[in-house]
Amino acid sequence: MAKVVDMATINALAAIPALPVLQAQVLGTMLAPITSLACVLKQSLRRTALPLRRPKPLPSKSGIKQQNKQQSKSGGYYNV
């Protein structure tokens, strides 16, 4: 049996996204909390792990002077 449908119902059905779009929306909704949790864990790990690393010491002034002397004796960086 055929049923007569009005134009508003047809327009409402036409506005429904395609199946792959709906599947992607559902999957995105399911993955959003997991992604948020991963971001929070990554940030908390960075906050706790970075202070544990020792920064590289800056070169001393005497080390820089020695390096400059060696460069001037050898003609600088570019030896021909």
Q: How does pLDDT run across 12-69, given as a tens digit for each residue?
A: 999 999 999 999 999 999 988 888 898 898 888 887 766 666 666 666 666 555 555 6
Return d(Cα 23, Cα 29) in angstroms, integer.
Answer: 10
36-39-43-46 Cα dihedral, nearest 10 degrees? 160
